[in-house]
Amino acid sequence: MKYGFVKVAAAVPSVRIADCKYNAGQIESLIAVAAGKGVQIIVFPELCLTAYTCGDLFAQQLLQGKAEMALLQLVNDTRHLDIISIVGLPLAVNSALLNVAVVFQKGKILGAVPKTYLPNYKEFYEMRWFAPATAIRENSVRLCGQQVPLGRNLLFNTPDTCFGVEICEDLWAPIPPSSILSLKGAEIIFNLSADNESAGKHAYLRSLIRQQSARTLSGYVFASCGFGESTTDVVFGGNGLIYENGELLAASERFMMKEQLVASEIDVEYLRGERLLNTTFTANQADCPDKEAACVSTELVDTSKEHELTRAIPPLPFIPAKASMDERCEEIIHIQCTGLAQRLAHTGCTTAVIGISGGLDSTLALLVCAKTFDRLRLDRRKILGITMPGFGTTNRTYQNAVRLMQLLGITSREISIKEACMQHFKDIRHDINVRDTTYENAQARERTQILMDVANQENALVIGTGDLSELALGWATYNGDHMSNYGVNAGVPKTLVKYLVEWVARNSADDDTRRTLLDILSTPISPELTPADENGDIHQKTEDLVGPYELHDFFLYHFLRSRFRPSKIFYLARKAFDGKYDDDTIKKWMKTFFRRFFSQQFKRSCLPDGPKVGSISLSPRGDWRMPSDASPALWLKECEDL
């Protein structure tokens, strides 16, 4: 597929114990269905050609022979398909019986991977029948009339990705084979499993796969036995799980009475970027055991046919999933409060000064201040909130600012900037009727001067209110709202600011405060630096000028966090915002994003301190170091070529 996506699937077929022909037929049907969906690599459960629960039947030569015949049938019957398939069967090699995964494509068997770690405890007795991979010295085997590479260290190279295979218990080892395979170059790991169910085990299994996927910076595709396996002593629920760097992309439904197929796309390009960035991964490669990996080369599915991207692309990548929303919002607020608390303690300040506009950013900053003072057991009246009405201040935002300060019990002060700005315009000979950048920025700088000077009077810290999205776009006045003593919102993007304020309103505010916060949330975002319209409503709306923040936050996330190029970001944005923004709108604001991001770096190069709260920070001392005069030409050219 395009842009580094590799489409994979985990299949859970229905099986009959020791009925190899039937099982091969079920597997073939699922391979055909997967191929029709554009799947490039598919994995099946452990020992799926015989079923896992054959017990002492595994020692029967008849079963071993029929398993190989079923594999031959399967390889021949799928030779017209491009898809790479991975199935399990028992395989005799000299005097040892191995539990192997066989990888094949277009009539050719690419390799056989034996299981390394055999469970022989509790309900498991695998060492009764099988030998571990470490017991054999052969590196090839005759299988279905082909001489096939054999080994636990096989790497399968395609033009699009490199993948490795491990089997069930291998994952549960302290150092799984997949760790070594990943350090040797495998970007996707496929696991054939026969994981039985017990109360509480499924959650542990998921956490194990998630951690291994994250630790190895890989895609991890897991297929486990389901309906048809023996239930004499244990039950198999049938698990198909697909992870990418610790994130679940797709999962089957457990305890189904029929076969299942789950598919998704793993972004190999993203994983490669993560590995390049993660110096620990590179350093760990140097400590990897010296034994060379055996590489098997093959082709991948013809990608000239365009298949729809089926994995979900969240339009708001900074927003926590609903299931973890409360926990994540609380954690972010704690990070902001802890950062501010440390700064107050270090400086010995017991007073904070903050400008309150009645807008989202200053509201979140004030809520953080109030919670921080509560944690430090400081009187909230030592928070000095200053509202500074200007030429564009509307009654709605003014009233919300005043009301919020009263409800939170802080000290409030009103200082109008109108006369000071008019005097300043007179001093610099600027026509007050010319509402240009000078007109707007003079107001922002006057407000900052007031805050800084009052802070000097009160021996206080000025708390910055600007957010991460504004820093990315440079939507801040240099040496105006750009400056503070500590910027509590510096790591919080605008889309997340909204959710945090709403979360506080819903979870920890009284009725009056909740109503005020919800009204602030519904107020158009604006710096209010130009006069209101004829109805007294906000005239200067930020998103009309620079574009929707949800688009810019999407661009920001995938540009910095994923390090994607504009064409791929556009590809993802079309899916994420399908039905909301058309192609021309996405292209327009993406060009605006890159133009502003590059041209406004000089503001980020001298940011005040502020806490990182998520996966992205634009602090020059933290995540982002970029020359202020870097050219955006490459990125803008690709935007133009879309």
Chain segment 549-588, per-residue pLDDT in tens: 999 999 999 999 999 999 999 999 999 999 999 999 999 9
Among 218-232, 281-295, 328-342, the least confident range: 281-295
pLDDT of residue 302: 56
SS3 state at 140: strand
Give the whole-angstrom CA distance, residue 154 versus residue 73: 24
Q: How far, in Å, CA of 356 to CA of 350, rounded? A: 19
Told to judge if 115 belongs to the known catalytic residues of this protein, a careful annotator would answer yes
Alpha-carbon distance 152 to 155, whole Å? 9
Contact yes or no for 491/339 (Cβ under 8 A): no
- Chain mean position to CA 399: 39
Give how far Cα 394 sits from Cα of 449, 525, 531, 536, 581, Å.
Answer: 22, 12, 8, 6, 30
**Residue 2 known to be catalytic:** no
**Cα separation, 187 vs 567, whole angstroms:** 23
Q: What is the amino acid identity at position 164? A: G
What tokens appear for 151 in the block? 């080994």
- The catalytically annotated residue of 7, 20, 28, 46 is 46
Residue 499, pLDDT > 80, answer: yes
- CB within 8 Å of 278: residues ≥ 6 apart: 217
Q: What is the DSSP letter of 255?
A: T
What is the pLDDT, as a whole number, of residue 540?
A: 85
Give the DSSP letter of residue 321. Answer: P
355 vs 333: CA distance, rounded Å: 19
The whole-chain average pLDDT of the chain stands at 94
| pLDDT of 504 | 96
Instruction: Give the residue from 334, 333, 377, 370 showing the smallest Cα distance to 352.
Output: 370
Cβ atoms of 129 and 58 closer than 8 Å: yes
Residue whose C-alpha is closest to residue 560's, from 638, 471, 498, 464: 471
DSSP state of 432: T
| Spatial contact of 154 and 113, defined as CB atoms under 8 Å apart | yes
Q: Rounded mean pLDDT of 361-372?
A: 98
Q: Which entry of 20, 66, 68, 115 is annotated as an active-site residue? A: 115
Three-state DSSP class for residue 392: coil
Residue 142 — φ and ψ, nearest 5°? Answer: -85, 120
How many whole angstroms separate alpha carbon 612 and alpha carbon 623? 9
Q: 20, 54, 162, 168: which is the annotated catalytic residue?
A: 168
The vertex-383 CA angle with 365 and 454, nearest 5°, equals: 100
From the list 541, 529, 435, 420, the residue with the least C-alpha distance to 481 is 529
Span 487-501, mean pLDDT? 96
- Give yes or no for residue 303 having a pLDDT over 70: no
Confidence of residue 158 (pLDDT cuts 50, 70, 90): very high
| Residue 532: per-residue pLDDT | 82
On the question of pLDDT at 306 being above 70, the answer is no
Rounded CA separation 420/422 (Å): 6
Mean pLDDT computed over 32-61: 96
Cα separation of 6 and 263, whole Å? 10
Instruction: Compute the distance between CA of residue 626 and CA of residue 610 in angstroms, rounded to an integer.
Output: 18
483 is written with which tokens?
A: 């400056």
State the Cα–Cα distance between residues 71 and 11, nearest whole angstrom.
17
pLDDT of 545 higher than 80: yes
Residue 384: pLDDT band with limits 50, 70, 90: very high
| Predicted local confidence at residue 290, as pLDDT | 66
Mean of pLDDT values over 454-473: 97
- Confirm if 577 and 555 have CB atoms less than 8 A apart: no
Residue 170 above 90 pLDDT? yes
> Which two tokens mark 51?
């079923």
Query: What distances in angstroms separate CA 271 from CA 159, 193, 240, 320, 635, one per listed residue?
Result: 16, 24, 21, 21, 21
Average pLDDT over residues 370-382: 97
For residues 475 and 359, give the distance between their C-alpha atoms in angstroms, rounded to a whole number. 15
The helix (H) or strand (E) run that includes residue 161 is: none
Q: Are 373 and 382 in contact (CB under 8 A)?
A: yes
Contact present, 632 and 559 (Cβ < 8 Å): no
Class of domain 322-641: alpha beta
Q: How many other CB atoms sit within 10 Å of the CB of residue 111? A: 25
Q: Which long-range contacts (C-beta less than 8 Å, at least 24 apart) are formed by 520-524?
A: 520/358, 520/359, 520/360, 520/363, 520/400, 520/404, 521/360, 523/358, 523/359, 523/360, 523/396, 523/397, 523/400
Integer CA distances (angstroms), 106 to 46, 82, 284, in order: 22, 6, 36
Whether 8-297 shares its CATH topology with 322-641 is answered no
pLDDT at 243 over 60: yes
Max mean pLDDT range (198-202, 291-295, 462-466): 462-466
SS3 470: helix
pLDDT tens-digit series, residues 111-134: 999 999 999 988 889 999 999 999
Contacts 24+ apart (CB under 8 A), 60-66: 63/18, 63/20, 63/90, 64/90, 64/91, 64/92, 64/97, 66/20, 66/21
Specify the pairing of strand 84-93 against strand 5-12.
unpaired
Q: Is 486 helix (H, G, I), strand (E, B) or coil?
A: strand
Name the token pair of 549. 């923040």
In angstroms, how far is CA 504 from the centroid of its own chain? 24
- Contact between 418 and 389 under an 8 Å Cβ cutoff? The reply is yes
Q: What is the mean pLDDT of residues 506-518?
A: 95
Task: Examine the pLDDT at 495 and tell me if it is beyond 60.
Answer: yes
Q: CA 419 to CA 390: how far, in whole Å? A: 9
% pLDDT > 70, the chain: 98
Number of Cβ within 10 Å of residue 31's Cβ equals 25
**Looking at residue 623, what is its pLDDT?**
84
The residue with tokens 């966090």 is: 561
Cα–Cα nearest to 266, from 298, 244, 238, 292? 244
Residue 215 in contact with residue 281, Cβ under 8 Å?
no
Looking at residue 321, its pLDDT comes to: 84
- 380 closest CA partner among 390, 372, 392, 388: 372
CATH architecture of the domain with range 8-297: 4-Layer Sandwich (3.60)
Give the pLDDT mean for 385-390: 97
Predicted model pTM: 0.91
- How much is the pLDDT for 305? 57
Parse the chain into domains and list their residue ranges.
8-297, 322-641
pLDDT at position 456 = 97
Per-residue model confidence (pLDDT) at position 301: 59
In the residue annotation, 225 being an active-site residue is answered as no
**Strand 84-93 to 41-43 pairing:** parallel
